[in-house]
Amino acid sequence: MPERFPVTNPATGEVVRHLDLADASDVDAAVGAARAAAPGWASVSPAERGAVLARVATLLDERSEDFAGTETLQCGKPIRLSREFDVPGTVDNAAFFGAAARMLEGKASGEYSPEHTSSIRREPLGVVGSIAPWNYPLNMAGWKVFPALAAGNAVVIKPAEITPLTTIMLAEVFAEAGLPDGVLTVLVGRGPVVGAALAGHPGIDMVSFTGSTAVGRQVAELAASGPRRVHLELGGKAPFVVFDDADLEAAVHGAVAGALINGGQDCTAATRAYVQRPLYERFVEGVADLLGQVRVGDPSDPATDVGSLISATHAERVHGFVTRAVQAGAKAMRGGTAPDGAFYRPTLLVGAAQQSEIVQDEVFGPVLVVLPFDDDDEGIALANDTRFGLAASAWTRDVYRAGRASREIAAGCVWINDHIPIISEMPHGGIKASGYGKDMSMYSLEEYTSVKHVMSEITGKARKDWHRTVFTGDRGEQGNG
């Protein structure tokens, strides 16, 4: 008998729905169905694939309130975030990749050899195994599924078992939009069972994983048995660098918004603010004052700014980081109190050491640490002093400072005078321990294709000049055995 799993509303503890969990045999069946369906989907014209995605975008938009409500119910995130960020972003992603399906390009044909014409084909990989996280279930499912399908692949996706509902709904929308059977399968199961089976399955051509760096390493190891292509979007510890000429009000508001989005459960969230000393004290005061105005409460209430975290267990984990930081000498200027179930008050810390756990490790909660710096060299060096490299921001009115920060801060994305905004046309992905590969944009579409070189002889000559490097005799001469 399959294991029954309760999907729970973290804000109330109430069970939303019971689901049967998949196991390794279900992975075999799903991959087999995907392999059978993949050639047919790959042979469909880009225009037809794009039309399916366009219909998905329309259906998602029509059902946006249902998707937003379900996302909030399973995640505990504020309904305002679900309505104004998660769902519209997913609709836009579907529409973008519907158009992008018709725009995949190879290198222009040309005669790079006097006797040949060369061209590049981009072809689907086959079957993609996708493993999505719990913090943005709908967004992340879209980021993985849309480009893979647009490129002509079949997909087997495993959402986090604690937040699978909107991914299941997305698959239902795809079916209604005309996607053939077997091209997209959702498997709800535990990571060590279904995730591991998917990452190491011989029928999978690519594995796409979003989650922690530690689990990402395990996924890469399993995928290496193929070997198969791997795309990893892993953890982050985004620096927020405020130079002394920055607009202080903008930086303060940007820090609060960047640190608290999705309750801080965002791998690009602002987690370490480095502020040049002339602005340091005023920045800390401003952030503390603004955090005091943040409304924590019922996620279904449109007036709520910060809902619950994903679980009471996770809230205790976040509080553990804060407790250890205070014990090591940091000071909580705001928050830092024990969680109330899955709810955790936004927290502002100062006085932490650069090499301390709270500065170096991913907390994944509404916690911002602020540290001072003296000159530009030190600010950039501190920003880079972490194993992560997903996102960062720099705050300055000086175009040269901004240019230097964008060049020298080691991250897959560097925002200037803002933090968090993403758009479908631009890529998202990191470096270092934050992984490799891109979500969104045409760069993401390319991730899900293989490059094939086609070389056509154009002279019609039977005997080519290069043949003499292998043999030199005329065709009528007697060889030497």
DSSP class of residue 119 equals E
Question: Do 68 and 124 fall into the same domain?
Answer: yes
DSSP class of residue 311 equals -
Q: How far apart are CA 236 and CA 269, in angstroms?
A: 8
**Which candidate in 75, 267, 362, 446 is catalytic?**
267
What is the percent of the chain where pLDDT is above 90? Answer: 91
**Partner residues linked to 19 by β-bridges:** 5
- Domain around 77: 4-234+432-454
**Which candidate in 161, 233, 362, 447 is catalytic?**
233
Q: At 448, which CATH number? A: 3.40.605.10
Q: Final residue of a domain: which of 416, 440, 475? A: 416
Q: How many domains are contained in the chain? A: 2
Are 130 and 144 in contact by the 8 Å Cβ rule? The answer is yes
Are 109 and 119 in contact by the 8 Å Cβ rule? The answer is yes
Question: Do 450 and 345 fall into the same domain?
Answer: no
* CA nearest neighbour of 324 among 347, 297, 294: 347
Question: Do 308 and 386 fall into the same domain?
Answer: yes
Angle formed at CA 474 by CA 469 and CA 478, multiple of 5 degrees: 110
Measured CA to CA in angstroms, residue 161 lies from 29, 188, 214, 283 at distances of 19, 6, 18, 40
Instruction: Give the range among 67-76, 115-124, 195-204, 323-332 with minimum mean pLDDT.
Output: 115-124
Residue 60 lies in a domain: yes
Residue 168 lies in a domain: yes
Residue type, 475: R
10 Å CB burial of residue 480 (0-12, 13-18, 19+) is exposed
Segment 6-56, tens digit of pLDDT: 999 999 999 999 999 999 999 999 999 999 999 999 999 999 999 999 999
For 56, residues 6+ apart whose C-beta sits below 8 A from its C-beta are 94, 98, 170, 173, 174, 177
Using CA atoms in the order 389, 269, 86, 217, what is the torsion angle rounded to 10 degrees? Answer: 40
Helix axes 87-100, 46-62, angle to 10 degrees: 160
Residue 135 lies in a domain: yes
Could you tell me the pTM of the whole model? 0.94
Are 82 and 262 in contact by the 8 Å Cβ rule? The answer is no
Question: Do 161 and 247 fall into the same domain?
Answer: no
For 48, residues 6+ apart whose C-beta sits below 8 A from its C-beta are none
Q: How far apart are CA 393 and CA 397, in angstroms?
A: 13
Residue 166 lies in a domain: yes
Segment 241-261, tens digit of pLDDT: 999 999 999 999 999 999 999
- Measured in residues, the chain has a length of 481
Residue 467 lies in a domain: no
DSSP H helical segments within 328-416, as ranges? 357-360, 376-384, 399-408
Question: Do 63 and 77 fall into the same domain?
Answer: yes
Q: At 351, which CATH number? A: 3.40.309.10
Question: Do 160 and 264 fall into the same domain?
Answer: no
Q: Which residues of 125-276 form beta strands (DSSP E)?
A: 127-131, 154-158, 184-186, 206-210, 229-233, 238-242, 270-276
Q: Is 111 a catalytic residue?
A: no
Question: Do 77 and 220 fall into the same domain?
Answer: yes
Question: Do 369 and 447 fall into the same domain?
Answer: no
Segment 92-138, tens digit of pLDDT: 999 999 999 998 776 667 788 888 899 888 999 999 999 999 999 99
Residue 477 lies in a domain: no
Question: Do 259 and 184 fall into the same domain?
Answer: no
Residue 113 lies in a domain: yes
Pairing of strands 347-350, 206-210: unpaired
Residue 469 lies in a domain: no
Question: Do 163 and 54 fall into the same domain?
Answer: yes
Average pLDDT in the 166-178 region?
A: 98
Q: Is 267 a catalytic residue?
A: yes
* CA nearest neighbour of 255 among 279, 282, 290, 281: 290
Residue type, 394: A
Average pLDDT in the 424-443 region?
A: 96
Question: Do 300 and 229 fall into the same domain?
Answer: no
* CA nearest neighbour of 240 among 367, 423, 330, 334: 367
- The SS3 of residue 178 is coil
**Is 269's pLDDT higher than 80?**
yes
Round to the nearest angstrom and report the end-to-end CA distance of the chain. Answer: 69
Question: Do 380 and 364 fall into the same domain?
Answer: yes
